[in-house]
Structure 1
Amino acid sequence: MDGDTSEQQQQQRWPSIHDPATCARKGLCPVTEAGGRLSPAKSYSLYFEQHGTGPIKLVFVMGLGMSCNAWSTQLVHFARLPQYSILVFDNRGVGNSDAPRGPYTTSSMAEDVITLLDFLSWTDKRSLHLLGFSLGGMIAQELAYRIPERLISLTLGVTTAGGFPLFNFPPWIGMKGIIRLQFIRDPKRRIPHTLEMCFNAAWLDAKAENDSKGRTNREVQIALFEKRASVTRIQTPQGFLWQTWAGFTHHVQAERLTQISKTVPKVLILTGDEDHLVRPSNSAYLKRHMPEAEYIVWKDTGHIVSGQHVERFNTLLERVFVEGQDKLEGR
């Protein structure tokens, strides 16, 4: 009975879109970030969920303004497979995690993740498959530079190495959408604008494949985003501001990219050719400085590659995980 009560209390405190039957543990990881000479240390918590208890460990890092509920289509797939343990979490400034005062940087957000991995004892050498999406891909680059010895594979989805802040700005469609969303607090009213930024219009208006209700992709995505919004805490203006600052100031130098490419057994760079939030040319730049990496561009695809091509994306990840292990073992 006590166990049931505890589970109910957890669901009420930290509601989640993910299946509670696959959840092995969830909670808050305490983080303390040392301040400089003129600023004190900051203490805050990161919310996390681990699904599955298999030997293959997956770490998924989400992007700007999105909680770990945005990994729902990946959790549905991987959490049902007994070989996997999947870690998802809310970055600082979003969801159930705290939003400490800024500024944030992708390097400090990567240190948050290392603290979380240490907290969970996910510290073994060559034990992790890391996937970073958009801002999460920027954080993943910083992670891969800091703890390459823990990684088997690294997947960088729709992301950038950054540089001078002006060059980190998204294309006009994305920039316009980001600005507009700051004046809309109602989660449901935000969804149409989010979809326009994250998917290409032709795909949104097309009939969804294998949908028993005969809906368009737009209708399917609206229902999914509404479901996520119903259990996700609204991001604070402070959280959005400092996460955005982290993205705009992100920069991993070319020599560091080359070092990552050499030290992680398998690296995949993936983008869509109609991305309105992170220019596809940024992925081409990553490839130029990560010569060992596999580089894939999906045609007629927007920013959320994982949502536009769910089965294709999940199958690709499975291949990356296998190839990373094969390279590690010299096969």
Structure 2
Amino acid sequence: MPRLNTNDDGRTFTPPSAEETISHPAFASVIWALEPHQQGTVEVAKGRGGPVKIAWEIHGDGPTKVLFIMGLAGIKTSWQRQTKYFGHDRSNEYSVLILDNRGMGDSDKPIARYTTSGMAADIVEVLDHVGWTAERDFHLVGLSLGGMIAQEVAYAIPTRLRSLTLMGTTAQFESGPAKSWSDAMWQRLSFVIPKSEDQSIFDTGRKLFPEEWLAAPDDAASLPSPKTTSRCGPAPGTPDGEYRTFDNNFQRFQAQELFKKRHASWFTQQGFLCQLIAAAGHRKTPQQLKTMADRVGRERILVMHGTVDNMITVPNGEKLIKHIEPGMGLIVEGMGHAPIMDRAEWLNALLEERFTAWGKL
């Protein structure tokens, strides 16, 4: 069984097995019952090898529009901490658009060569479908592969963005301290080397989050409450409608991964590989980034990266900040790859403050 080192004194943490987590009382409610205000599918890419059905949801009906784009192998529910915060707790202020990129979740999973520009074109068609077409109409937030796609969306329709936030992403995928072409290729191949389910989720967790957070008790601060009047429904599968906590943060992440992989058709290895190829092939030149920033407006751009991001290392974020010269560039000490989970409260407050400031421009 793999272990985590939790601090410098050598103490270790042994993660639970998949079977233990599936049997946990909290497993049935790991995906929060956040009812969309609008939802549907739209056929895109009809002249680009399609049609491809893309599943989307809008949470909230407020005037401030926010589009969240998820990363590699992520699905709509990966944003549930942000969906609840903006689209339910503040539903009169925000409208939150989330979607499944091609290859994952409820969207189609064609076996083809995916590109970040093609996936961005899918999203532009979704935006057209839901009517988010005005000038400076919506805030765009992209994480990891979603940040690469967001760069392409911003490059294609820059003046429709009210703001652009890029988190844990890159202009050209470089994962880890590769010293040569062969090192870089080996790091990419590490994503597809066959592993046990337990080992695969364990390794992914260590790339996404700081080990201290993974070993810490489950942070239930953002859990929905069945006693509130928001659109959070009762927790599915729990007799009393309660959202229960797991034993630790790793187990909550593990449960989300297991729920996704065991849900019929949400996750396929082919879809994962097609998305991985899109990430590996993404490239925006310094000139393209400059052009994008000129047209979006640098004062409307936030680039954020963590110093302990083990999925896309911090030099990638530093390069983005150098070439984009955003209004706000943050290199956050001790932050990993996915602050949407381990720093959700801080991140949500930061985004809310920035959305308010950008809304005044």
In 1, Cα distance between the equivalents of 2:352 and 2:245? 29
- Name whichever of 218-227 and 65-74 sits farther off: 218-227
Q: What residue number does 1:77 align with?
A: 85
- Structure 2: which amino acid aligns with 1:199? F
Deviations 1:223-280 (A, max 9, x none): 4444555557342222122211111110111112112222324111111111111111
Residues 18 and 75 in structure 1, CA contact (< 8 A), matched pair in contact too: no
Q: What residue number does 1:17 align with?
A: 31
- Report the Cα offset of residue 33 of structure 1: 4.2
Q: Gaps spanning 5+ residues in structure 2: where?
A: 1-29, 179-183, 222-243
Query: Which of residues 278, 281, 289 in structure 2 aligns to 1:249?
Result: 281
In 1, Cα distance between the equivalents of 2:39 and 2:319? 37
Deviations 1:165-217 (A, max 9, x none): xxx2422799769736663585x774323212211212222345567969433
Summarize the alignment of residues 43-58 of structure 1 with structure 2, pairs less than 5 Å apart.
43-58=51-66
SS at match of 1:57: strand
What TM-score, normalized by structure 2, do the two folds share?
0.76
Residues 171 and 278 in structure 1, CA contact (< 8 A), matched pair in contact too: yes
Greater share of helix residues, 1 or 2? Answer: 1
In 2, Cα distance between the equivalents of 1:204 and 1:20? 25
In 2, Cα distance between the equivalents of 1:94 and 1:110? 15
Q: What residue number does 1:34 align with?
A: 47
Q: What residue number does 1:279 align with?
A: 313
Q: What residue number does 1:128 align with?
A: 138
Distance of aligned partners of 1:103 and 1:210 in 2 relative to their CA distance in 1, 3 Å threshold? closer
Q: Gaps spanning 5+ residues in structure 1: where?
A: 1-15, 36-40, 163-167
SS at match of 1:42: coil
Q: What residue number does 1:11 align with?
A: none
In 1, Cα distance between the equivalents of 2:220 and 2:314? 29
In 2, Cα distance between the equivalents of 1:215 and 1:122? 41
Aligned residues: 300
Q: What residue number does 1:67 align with?
A: 75
SS at match of 1:258: helix
**Equivalent pairs: percent with the same residue?**
32
Q: What residue number does 1:222 align with?
A: 254
Residues 29 and 46 in structure 1, CA contact (< 8 A), matched pair in contact too: yes
Is the counterpart of residue 170 in structure 1 residue 175 in structure 2?
A: yes
Q: What residue number does 1:183 align with?
A: 194
- Structure 1: which amino acid aligns with 2:45? T
Q: What residue number does 1:321 align with?
A: 355
